[in-house]
Amino acid sequence: MTDIFAVQNPLTLKLALFVGVYLAVAASALVRPSLAGALLTSIKASPGIMHATGALAAFVGMGVLVTHFDFTSITAALVTLTAIWWAVEGLGMLALGHLLPIDSPFAIKNYALSNIPAFAIGVFLIIAGLLGQPELLP
C-alpha cells in the first residue's frame, strides 16, 4: 500500500512533510475568497509587503531546488514542482508584482480556487512524509 510513497532520496520525505504542512495549512484558510481577497489586496497595496513576500517565496523555492531537483517518484515530483512554483511566483512578484492585477475579483476567485489542489497536494505530501520509505537501490 505504501509503494506510492516510496522515494529514492530520503531528503524527499523530510521536504514532503515540510512542504505538505505549509500547503495544507495555508490553503485551508486561503480557499475562502474573503481571506484570499484580504491577503491579495494587502499585498498589492504595499510595495514593501509585495517585495518581502516575493523575496521569501523566491528564496524558499530556490533553496529547496538547490537541494532537491528530483522527478523519480510522485512525491519527489510534487516537492520539486512546488519549489519551482514558489521560485517562479516569488521572482514574478519581485519583478512584476506592482503591475499585476492580483486584487481584481477574477484574480481573487482564481487564487481561492487554486488553493483546493494545493490543499490536496499538501495532504498527500504530509502522508507521504509520514508513511514513505526510501527505496533500496540494487
Residues 6+ apart with CB under 8 A from 1: none
What is the reported pLDDT for 130? 95
Count of residues for the chain? Answer: 138
Residues 6+ apart with CB under 8 A from 56: 90
What is the reported pLDDT for 6? 87
CA–CA dist 33, 105 (Å, integer): 9
What is the per-residue pLDDT across 16-63, written as a single tens digit (0 to 9) for each?
999 999 999 999 999 999 999 999 999 999 999 999 999 999 999 999
Given a cut of 80, whether residue 1 has pLDDT beyond it is no
What residues does each domain of the chain span?
A: 17-131
What is the per-residue pLDDT across 81-107, written as a single tens digit (0 to 9) for each?
999 999 999 999 999 988 989 999 999
Burial of 132 (0-12, 13-18, 19+ CB in 10 A): buried
